[in-house]
């Protein structure tokens, strides 16, 4: 068995290779020590990141075996892996895994304690289950996309963080780990149905509560956390860069006014919504009088919620992130370090992203396949 580092060391997972949220979920689990074998798809399959595989960071920390799942011998090989695994994770459209002979019934038949993790956008059932879609569509349906943006402007796309990764990968990772814990108590496996519409809706729980209470307006840019409030917004500085302000609490609000050179006694009440546009305009005017770094220097050591808006190139060099080791460099590629952190069993990047099928023979050997077994798979064309 492969030796890995992290709190999930000893957990074995089979990943049916895909793109987006499933690889990110498995990256998180592998960074925390799970021994994951990724079943890579045949060359030419639609999807994935083109170019040098070492930049496909979502594939880091695990090894891959390239198998053609349309071959009966490859399916048998995967089921042999499943028989030794704690979990399997797949991200096909509903019904595809069943057609391949690798659905939940097939896998639980050979391993009744298996956790079968499924990732889809719309879910395994419902009117849209078979419809194509991407992150932007899933967060559109659940109200997330409608809520993000400025007053009078269009919805702002939050990359693919809220659907693919937040509502998908993180919920699937939590579901798989939770089900593995339960399986070890009961000896019984189960299916984890992680749908991005469900996860992204769950992420909106706070806002649905505030909306029901009447506190949250169902309009972009009119609330305290969506750029409506002057004290929770971003402002352009003299040098064309940006500062973020998040002074929700009264004491932070007062300190922010001091940094800006404003007299609190002369300012409207912080929560007077009718005056927010006026205050926001004043803030914008003042912020344009200094550079981003000058504002950071003025705010340093003060009880204000200030932070510079850093670019991808700048963020790894920020003193706080550099001291914490939030970013690391591996094989010449700067990337985020594993998270969260553990005091006794820290996770680690187990290995850089592998080329598709790079570890086929080694992985299969580690999981109990003999040299003759591997040769037979290659002869049958099951190994790509």
Separation CA 315–CA 323 (nearest Å):
12
Separation CA 183–CA 160 (nearest Å):
32
Widest CA span in the chain: 83
Indicate if 164 belongs to the active site. yes
φ, ψ of residue 148 to 5 degrees: the values are -100, 120
Strands (E) located in 290-374: 306-308, 327-330, 333-336
Q: Other CB atoms closer than 10 Å to residue 204's CB: what's the count?
A: 17
φ, ψ of residue 88 to 5 degrees: the values are -125, 140
* Residue of 45, 52, 125, 134 with catalytic role: 134
Separation CA 20–CA 206 (nearest Å):
26
Separation CA 106–CA 368 (nearest Å):
20
Separation CA 132–CA 94 (nearest Å):
11
| Residue 68, SS3 per DSSP | coil
* 288 exposure class (CB count in 10 Å sphere: 0-12, 13-18, 19+): middle
Contacts of 93 (CB under 8 A, 6+ apart): 120, 130
Separation CA 338–CA 13 (nearest Å):
18
Indicate if 134 belongs to the active site. yes
Identify whether 51 is preceded by a cis peptide bond (ω within 30 of 0). Answer: no
Contacts of 200 (CB under 8 A, 6+ apart): 138, 139, 142, 144, 162, 163, 166, 167
> Would strands 35-40 and 63-66 be described as parallel, antiparallel, or unpaired?
parallel
* Residue of 68, 164, 198, 226 with catalytic role: 164
Alpha helices (runs of H) in the chain, residue ranges in sequence order:
21-31, 72-82, 96-99, 104-110, 135-141, 144-147, 170-186, 196-203, 205-213, 250-259, 276-287, 292-299, 319-324, 360-366, 371-379
Q: List active site positions.
A: 134, 164
């Amino acid at each position: 068995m492969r030796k890995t580092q992290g709190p999930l060391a000893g957990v074995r997972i089979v990943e049916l290779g895909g793109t987006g949220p499933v690889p990110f979920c498995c990256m998180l689990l592998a960074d925390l020590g799970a021994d994951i074998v990724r079943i890579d798809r045949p060359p030419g399959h639609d999807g994935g990141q083109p170019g040098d595989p070492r930049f496909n960071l979502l594939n880091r920390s695990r090894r891959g075996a390239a198998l053609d799942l349309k071959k009966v011998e490859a399916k048998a090989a995967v089921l042999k892996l499943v028989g030794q695994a704690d979990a399997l994770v797949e991200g096909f459209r509903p019904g595809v895994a069943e057609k391949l002979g690798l659905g939940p019934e097939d896998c639980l038949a050979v391993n009744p304690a298996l956790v079968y993790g499924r990732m889809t956008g719309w879910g395994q059932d419902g009117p849209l289950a078979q419809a194509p879609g991407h992150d932007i569509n899933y967060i559109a349906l659940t109200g997330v996309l409608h809520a993000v943006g400025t007053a009078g402007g269009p919805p702002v796309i939050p990359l693919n963080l809220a659907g693919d990764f937040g509502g998908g990968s993180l919920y699937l990772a939590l579901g798989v780990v939770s089900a593995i814990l339960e399986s070890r108590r009961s000896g019984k496996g189960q299916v984890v149905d992680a749908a991005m519409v469900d996860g992204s809706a769950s992420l909106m729980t706070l806002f649905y509560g505030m909306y029901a209470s009447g506190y949250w307006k169902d309009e972009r840019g009119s609330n305290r956390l969506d750029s409506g409030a002057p004290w929770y917004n971003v402002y352009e500085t003299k040098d064309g860069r940006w500062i973020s302000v998040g002074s929700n609490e009264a004491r932070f609000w007062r300190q922010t006014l001091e940094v800006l050179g404003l007299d609190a006694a002369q300012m409207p009440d912080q929560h007077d919504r009718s005056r927010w546009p006026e205050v926001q305009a004043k803030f914008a005017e003042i912020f344009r009088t200094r550079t981003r770094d000058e504002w950071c220097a003025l705010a340093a050591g003060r009880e204000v919620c200030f932070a510079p808006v850093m670019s991808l190139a700048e963020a790894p060099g920020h003193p706080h992130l550099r001291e914490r080791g939030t970013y690391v460099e591996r094989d010449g590629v700067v990337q985020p370090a594993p998270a969260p952190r553990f005091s006794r069993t820290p996770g680690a990047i187990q290995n850089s992203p592998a080329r598709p099928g790079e570890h086929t023979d080694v992985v299969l050997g580690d999981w109990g396949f003999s040299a003759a077994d591997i040769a037979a798979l290659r002869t049958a064309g099951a190994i790509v």
